[in-house]
Amino acid sequence: MATVHERFPLPPEALWQALPNGVTAVKGKNPYYDAAAGYVTFSTSMGLFSYGQTVTVKVERTSEGSGLAIQTSLKFGFIDFGEGKRIARKFIAAVGASVGHTPAV
């Protein structure tokens, strides 16, 4: 399991609108968006080197603007060998690119 946080100097609404770009970048499947709670959850596919991950991304209001809290967990297995953090960083980069902000990931 990996948890990654990133802050953006933007309002939470701007990040919320950019979440689909992050889901697309990591090839997320079956995204479920809960606007009232401010999160999206989806899964990644199983592959040759991966059992797949379940990913939950929460948009949070911060004093600087907003932030993303990304939590990943394996669908099957015990050690992800850094895959969760790679997925989170790719997600953050895609959201950042769509809102015009380059995060320091």
Cβ–Cβ under 8 Å, residues 72 and 94: no
Instruction: Give CA–CA dist 70/76, Å, rounded.
Output: 19
pLDDT band of residue 104 (cuts 50, 70, 90) is low
Chain segment 52-76, per-residue pLDDT in tens: 899 999 999 999 899 999 999 988 7
- CATH architecture type of domain 2-98: 2-Layer Sandwich (3.30)
